[in-house]
Amino acid sequence: LRNPREFAATYAIEEQGHVQQYKSRAQKAECFYKDNVYANVISDFDAGRNHQQYTQKQNYLGQRNSDNSCSKQQTSYMLENNGETICFTTHKIPVCKSSCNANELITKSVKYHCVPKTNISELWRNQINKGASPDFSSKTVTKTVEMKV
C-alpha cells in the first residue's frame, strides 16, 4: 500500500469514521512486493567517471594529487587455458599509466580469483581494460603467482 492511512486502517480495531473507507480502499489496492536485485557494482571513480571532480575533492581534503605520478593501483587479470579461464587479482596492484614506462620491477606474490570465461567475466575484463578496478577482495583466492610488478 502506498497510502499510509490505508495501511493503518488495515490494523484498526474499531471501524469508525473514515477508517472503514480507508480499509475498503486498502483491500482493493494493488500489492507491491520488494524485489532484491543482487549485482556487482562498480563506482563512478572505479569506472573512470568524474575523475576531475574526485581529484579536486581529494585536494580539498589535503590529500596528495597523484595525477603527476606514473603509477596507479588497478585490478588486473590474466588469461589461462587458451582464454577459457580468466584470473582477476583479488587486490589492486601497481601498474604503469599508459604514457609511462617502469623504472624498476620488484617480484611480488599476487593472489588471483579464477573463473571460467562467461559474459560476466568478459564484462569485468572489458571494464578493467577501460581503467576500472572491480573489487574481488571478498572472492576466494584460487591461485597465487610470483610476478614482477
Q: What is the pLDDT of residue 124?
A: 94
d(C-alpha 33, C-alpha 122), whole Å: 33
Q: Domain of 115?
A: 69-148
* Residue 77 sits in the same domain as residue 133: yes
Q: Is 59 domain-assigned? A: no
**Which residues have a Cβ under 8 Å from the Cβ of 149 and sit 6 or more positions away?**
93, 94, 95, 105, 106, 108, 110
Q: Is 17 a residue whose pLDDT tops 70? A: yes
Across 3-142, where does the E strand assignment appear?
71-74, 77-80, 85-89, 93-96, 107-116
3-state secondary structure of 49: coil
Q: What one-character DSSP code corresponds to residue 66?
A: G
Q: Is residue 64 part of a domain?
A: no
Quote the number of domains for the chain.
2
Residues in contact with 53: Cβ distance below 8 Å, sequence separation at least 6, in sequence order: none
Interval 6-11 mean pLDDT: 76
Residue 54 domain-assigned?
no
pLDDT in tens, 36-64: 666 566 666 666 665 555 455 554 444 44
Residue 5 sits in the same domain as residue 73: no
Structural domain contains residue 16: yes
140 and 97 in a common domain: yes
Residue 31 lies in a domain: yes
Residue 56 in any domain: the answer is no
